[in-house]
Structure 1
Amino acid sequence: MDRIEELCRQYTDLSDDEIMNIRMMSNMLQPLANLEDADVFIDSPCRNGDAIVLAEAKPSGVPSSYQGSVVGMLAKRENEPAVARTLSLGISTKHMKALTQESNHVIQSVEPIIRGERTIGVLISERRVDEQYLASRRLHLSKNSFEKMADVLTNIENNNAWLTECIEEGLLLINKERTVIFRNSVAKDLYKNLGYVEDVLGQIYDNICLVVPEYQNERSKDSSVETTIGKHTLCIRHVKLDREELELAVVIRDMTWIREQEKELILKSVVVKEMHHRVKNNLQTVASLLRIQSRHCDNELTRLVLGETMERILAISATHQLLAQNGVDQVNIKEVLQTICNNTLRYNASPGFDIDLTIEGDDFEVDSDVSTSVALIVNELLQNSLKYAFTKKSSGKVKVIVTYGVLYSEISIVDDGIGFNVNSIRRESLGLNIVKSLVKDRLNGSIEIKSSKDGTFVSFQFLNQIMESASVT
């Protein structure tokens, strides 16, 4: 097994016939290198999207751009956009800048190697970056071409061509001969960043086309395709024109920053989910330790305090559990309340007691700070209701009512219990102090408590989003 076959079988999915085709073409590389005074290579696509160098030849008449052999090395998409373009589109790519495996800058021209309908590799010609070479390759237009271009550009100027410099997209205009007769500065800079050495103005569009347009049907005049070239993500729109001198307008929008931001948001979402998941697990571990301690405690008052503390921790944990599921810093208020209600019933409902606990009203999103505070407040209020409101009763009803407001929203807990004297509430009551402190200091809201023999009504208002106070210097 020779080197080409070995590399093909290790890195590519080429068939035996396709490998044979590559081997036959490799025999012609040295004469081509000498004829072109250029380094010549054959690359084939790898399974991971890059390309592998299968064969090479260095020119005998001029210095090579390479000190050693690069056979068996990868050609990265971001370093060799001409290779990536030709492998992707199956068309030629001329005079594009590339970065070699030895970190040298070269000019590449690439031709596809096609077998059947498949591009099995590319033939690459590389020259060192040389100003004399670049000057000799510049486009020379005939007088007739200049006249046509002048007519079109004059027409554009008369229609406020300066507007094309005010848009974020690159713009190309293609004439009937498939030549680029206009480009704005955004398009010029974009192609330069992609590695094209020469100005695209005056070039044949087929040689610089970044993506094959995909029209829906023969009558369709508009095609929009998103593609990735090297490190750039581009949305390329082709629009057929009904003008005598123009065939096509190409609008290129650089979507790289937008796609990178989307990736960062996804990554941050994963990190946030993991963070809330770990906090939830840690809080549940603490709650479990308190539960174990409570079971081994002989003092009834101590057991009661441990149980209340455990429920407060679980109330905080409930918010983090929802945040871990969503991966964002927003949760639905009803989801939080439903979790708190379920936990409260689990740990406070007496055997044989029939309690009807419902949630009514609006549903909306709140951030993690609001949801955590609301969870603790509702947990305290529901605990008090279930423990004290239905003494000597076999059943009862508790409603949690949510009312959304533009700035302030409101949550009310209403029960049909025996009621109590509001003025007789102990000031040292830990539960009430927690509720009042959270409403005032954390939620920037207010609380109202009413009670009679027909039941108890507790309502608190809160800002939908907690604003951090800005420091003044």
Structure 2
Amino acid sequence: SGSGGRWQREVIRNGAPIIQDVYPIHGEATSHGDMEGNGTGRTIGALVVETNMLAYERQRRRNRYFRRAVPGVQEMCLHGEIKNAGALGRFGIYDGIYLVDHERHIRYVSGNATNLFRAAGIVRDPHGAHVSMLEATDAELVEATFRTQQCLEERHESSDGRIWVRRAVPLRMPPPTWMQWWLGIPWYNLAQRKQADIDAVIVMVHNATENVQKQRELNVKSAIIQEVHHRVKNNLQNIAAILRIQARRCESEEAKQHLSDAVNRVLSMSVIHEFLSQDEHRPISLRDICQRIGNQVAQVSSNPEQEITIQVSGPNIRLPASQATPAAMVINELLLNAVEHGLRDRRHGHIAIVLQDLGDAVELVVTDDGNGLPTDFGQKPSRSLGLQIVQTLVTDDLKGQVTIESLPVAATTAATAPSSATNTSADTAPQQPAQPSQQNVNIPDAHLVEEKIVGDNAPTVDHTTVAVDPSGEQAAAARPQQQGTQATIRFPKRSLGID
């Protein structure tokens, strides 16, 4: 019917009655047929407000201006007349409220507002006084709200260092009860009333001093922590430089190799500290970690006479620092193992790193086109320090699983690219793990086609070599079938995000 009103009903809710107010919600009238007798759009719903009897009686004893303001706010909400409300911050239970009428006189002040005013040095009772008796910012905010007729928020720092946040809401209040009875227009049907200027402004006062001070302290601590990460990164790089110098002076090839491995392990940890020095709270991109560590391994570990390409593909998975650190060390050890063992004594080699998002887990696959694993691999405990580090970090820190296996490669193809090589975007959907490619060999009378792709917008494949042997006989006679190695790491997500 479009009518609304207030009535009391007995409800057994903790043995106490409640007051129920029902207000009609009108839609926008787009044509004369949509208009109801009260001049508004058709009724599309109802707002039900329930108040326990104790709160209702307490409300009846409040200031009469405040009693009129509450239904005024409800009515404006029903008709969507509160403009710019989304720009206001959240109202807290310890915030103060005061009401200013159209004559700029303060008509209501809550107890919390009185306490806040006293803390600001305002001892005089503000009831009935002009709003200018408060701070100048109060009067300016109220005046701007009357002028713009929309919600406004202002932050101000007083001379004593306190931070005050004031939020102003314009208000059209219903006429007094006697006028509603005389006009025969209930307050909830104020659409028939002339839409004049606003009648009052409700101002909410919040003392944000403590929160702002805590935030400033957190910012200082965050800056200090970032500086610590920056210095740790520099110190780790200095340690790596010292180890390089020591490696050059060693006569033993075994000692040089051990020092080179130590350099890569130290640099893999410095990569994480470099990311943390930029933003401690921002998740770290796993793909960026792979690219950074891949460059380091290619520069430090590979023989100058070798041509080893490392390809990284997959979605931009982000990890918290607690997972990024062990993941970086695992990636470093797998790449070192591929370069030092799988691609040993090889002039050309390819390593593919493929990232996949499995929903609740992350999968990382490292594949090389090397010589494969020893025949007795897995039959006895590994003596390799790198594999022991991988097993420990994946199992204990990442709570995941690791599998390492040899993969055969077709003997008739001299070199192939992973299946993801056709991807032209680094942020595409998760891809299937790349298949390992074979060693490039000398094939008599074979036609070799070599393609190198570089640039920021180029596909993710850095180097692709394809050998064409029409008969296939020369390739089969030139070299035996080779094997590649594939390491698969899978671990559960922990506060991850995908770009």
**Normalising TM by the smaller chain, what interval?**
0.5 to 0.7
1:232 aligns to what?
162
Q: CA deviation at 1:172?
A: 0.9
Q: Once structures 1 and 2 are overlaid, which stretch shifts more, 253-262 or 225-234?
A: 253-262
Q: Which amino acid aligns with 2:386?
A: G
Instruction: State the Cα distance separating 1:406 from its structure 2 match.
Output: 4.7
| Residue in structure 2 matching 1:179, options 105, 116, 130 | 105
What SS does the corresponding residue of 2:100 show, helix, strand or coil?
Answer: strand
The verdict on how the C-alpha distance between 1:438 and 1:302 changes in structure 2, with shifts beyond 3 A counting, is same
Please report how far the alpha carbon of residue 346 of structure 1 lies from its aligned counterpart in structure 2 after TM superposition: 0.6
RMSD, aligned α-carbons: 2.9
- Runs of 5+ consecutive residues of structure 2 not aligned to the other structure: 1-61, 75-90, 177-198, 410-483
Q: 2:389 aligns with which of 430, 434, 442?
A: 434
1:424 is paired with a residue of what secondary structure?
coil
Please state whether the residue corresponding to 2:228 is helix, strand or coil. helix
- In the TM superposition, residue 362 of structure 1 has moved relative to its aligned partner by 2.1
Change in Cα spacing, 1:428 to 1:181, as seen in structure 2 (3 Å) is same
Q: What is aligned with 1:73?
A: none
Compared CA separation, residues 154 and 303, structure 1 to 2 (3 A): closer
Between the aligned partners of 2:145 and 2:71, the Cα distance in structure 1 is 33
> Is 1:179–1:205's contact at 8 Å kept on the other side of the alignment?
yes
- Structure 1, gaps ≥5 residues long: 1-148, 467-473
Provide the residue aligned with 1:221 in structure 2: 150
- Structure 1: distance between partners of 2:70 and 2:279: 53
1:236 shift after superposition: 1.5
- The AA in structure 1 aligned to 2:169 is V
Matched letter for residue 418 of structure 1: N
Determine if the alignment matches structure 1 residue 446 to structure 2 residue 475: no
Matched, 1:355 2:281: no
- The amino acid that maps onto 1:350 is N
| Paired residues of 2:66 and 2:99 also in contact (CA < 8 A) | no
Write the letter of the residue equivalent to 2:393: L
SS for the counterpart of 2:103 is coil
Distance 1:220 1:157 in 2: 18
Structure-2 separation of matches of 1:347 and 1:187: 67
Distance, in Å, in 1 between the alignment partners of 2:217 and 2:93 is: 26
Judge which range, 284-293 or 241-250, deviates more.
241-250
User: Does residue 254 in structure 1 map to residue 207 in structure 2?
Assistant: yes
Of 331, 339, 342, which aligns to 1:386?
A: 339
* Larger displacement relative to structure 2 (152-161 or 379-388): 152-161
In the alignment, structure 1 residue 284 sits paired with structure 2 residue 210: no
CA contact (8 A) 1:272 1:328 kept: no
Secondary structure, in 3 states, of the residue corresponding to 2:486? strand
Q: 1:462 aligned to 2:417?
A: no
Q: TM-score, normalising length from structure 2?
A: 0.57
Structure 2 CA distance, aligned partners of 1:368 and 1:219?
Answer: 48
Alignment of 1:108-257 (within 5 A): 151-155=64-68, 167-211=93-137, 212-213=140-141, 215=144, 218-229=147-158, 230-243=160-173, 246-257=199-210
Offset, 1:255 = 2.8
In structure 1, the partner of 2:297 is: 344
> Residues 124-173 of structure 1, C-alpha deviation per residue, up to 9 Å, x if partnerless?
xxxxxxxxxxxxxxxxxxxxxxxxx9643554588999xxx984432111
CA distance in 1, matches of 2:216, 2:222: 10
- CA deviations 1:86-109 (Å, max 9, x no partner) are xxxxxxxxxxxxxxxxxxxxxxxx
Contact 1:422-1:449 within 8 A present in 2 as well: no
Alignment-derived partner of residue 408 in structure 1: 361
Secondary structure at the aligned position of 2:251 is classed as coil
Tell me the secondary structure at the aligned position of residue 177 of structure 1: coil
Name the aligned partner's letter for residue 105 of structure 2. T
